[in-house]
Amino acid sequence: MTVLRVTHTTTYTYKRPVEFGQHRLLFRPRDSQDQRLLSSSLRIFPEPSDLFWIHDAFNNCIAVAEFDAESDSLRFETDIVLDHKPQNALHFRADTEARIWPFAYDAEILPDLQAVIARQYEDTETSTWARRFVDPSGVTDTVRLLETVTHAIHNDFKYIRRGNPGTQTPEMTLYSLSGTCRDYALLMIEAVRSLGFAARFVTGYIYVPSRDTGERLGGGATHAWVQVFLPGAGWVEFDPTNGIVGNRDLIRVGVTRTPRQAIPLWGTHSGSRIDFLAMDVQVNVTAADTPPLLSESTPEAP
């Protein structure tokens, strides 16, 4: 068991006091057998007039804040502690047919997976690139195929930090051989979808256990990676930015069909665009010394 603590602060600054519209936050980790939320707090300045929680279409937990005060700054501070159990290997417990690609999803679950099998981009470059990792004999080990795609992006592409929001198209990432973690995740999702896999986008955090032995990419900010559904193994994590297979050091917060649906914080303000000065994001993930008792600092949370 590893107890991890995440502190995440986002601050917006403006030229003058402005009014704020509704803001939605995706920051609360998804409870599961491999990660269990121990404590969570959310502080917002200025204080919202209303704060409530909902589950979105993907069952992610969303905090919704509404405001009635003007301010020249807006700050969100979150503090999360969770019990994280790394799973370093991909294990099939059933369905031996899925061990070899290509395979077919069972007719009973196929309707539930169709939305994350369908591609968002129909460019031929991505599907051609994905086919490079298929055994020409026509029989390909499923795990080896997905691991090879993951490591190819990690080894062959240059990681960059990009200030402008949004995600590159897979074609742009292939052309430049560079991108952010969101770009890499989208490229891998579209690549494996072109091979018939069900894949979805994951947003969360990454724990960097030792900065002395080489910092993992994606630390100091929110991180993004991929889940692929494999019969007998379920949803399995693949992080092409760091070449990670399994959930090791990955803290899952939200899962979505597209990167646009996984924005950690979004909202509006009144006035002109020139009123906006800057956004500053600070994320720190550390190992906690001792696990705290289960607590919840925001009583509105479920």
Residue 107 included in any domain: yes
Residue 91 included in any domain: no
Residues 281 and 255 in one domain: no
Residues 151 and 179 in one domain: yes
Residues 254 and 132 in one domain: yes
- Report how far residue 66's alpha carbon sits from residue 60's, in angstroms, rounded to the nearest whole number: 19
- Report how far residue 62's alpha carbon sits from residue 20's, in angstroms, rounded to the nearest whole number: 18
Residues 138 and 277 in one domain: no
Domain housing 8: 2-84+263-287
DSSP H/E element including 22: strand 20-25
Residue 302 included in any domain: no
Residue 89 included in any domain: no
Residues 249-266 have a mean pLDDT of 95
Q: What pLDDT, in 10s, does the model give residues 80-121?
A: 999 998 876 666 665 678 889 999 999 999 999 999 999 999
Round the average pLDDT of the chain to a whole number and report it. Answer: 88
What total of structural domains would you count in the chain? Answer: 2
How much of the chain, in percent, has pLDDT values that exceed 90?
Answer: 74
Residues 146 and 253 in one domain: yes
Q: Is the pLDDT of residue 3 over 70?
A: yes
Residues 149 and 70 in one domain: no
Q: Are 133 and 148 in contact (CB under 8 A)?
A: yes
Residues 48 and 66 in one domain: yes
pTM for this prediction: 0.90
Q: What is the pLDDT of residue 202?
A: 98
Q: Is the pLDDT of residue 291 over 60?
A: no
Q: What is the pLDDT of residue 259?
A: 96
Q: What is the pLDDT of residue 217?
A: 52
Residue 34 included in any domain: yes
Q: Are 120 and 194 in contact (CB under 8 A)?
A: no
- Report how far residue 264's alpha carbon sits from residue 25's, in angstroms, rounded to the nearest whole number: 6
Residues 189-216 have a mean pLDDT of 83
Residue 301 included in any domain: no
How much of the chain, in percent, has pLDDT values that exceed 70?
Answer: 88
Q: What is the pLDDT of residue 272?
A: 83
Q: Are 150 and 188 in contact (CB under 8 A)?
A: yes
> Long-range contacts for 123-131 (Cβ within 8 Å, ≥24 apart)?
123/169, 123/170, 123/171, 125/170, 125/171, 125/174, 125/175, 126/170, 126/171, 126/174, 126/187, 126/190, 126/191, 126/194, 127/191, 127/194, 129/174, 129/191, 130/191, 130/192, 130/194, 130/195, 131/195
Q: Is the pLDDT of residue 218 over 90?
A: no
Query: Which domain CATH number covers 44?
Result: 2.60.40.2250
Residues 166 and 70 in one domain: no
Residues 256 and 279 in one domain: no
Q: What pLDDT, in 10s, does the model give residues 128-177?
A: 999 999 998 878 999 999 999 999 999 999 999 876 668 999 999 999 99
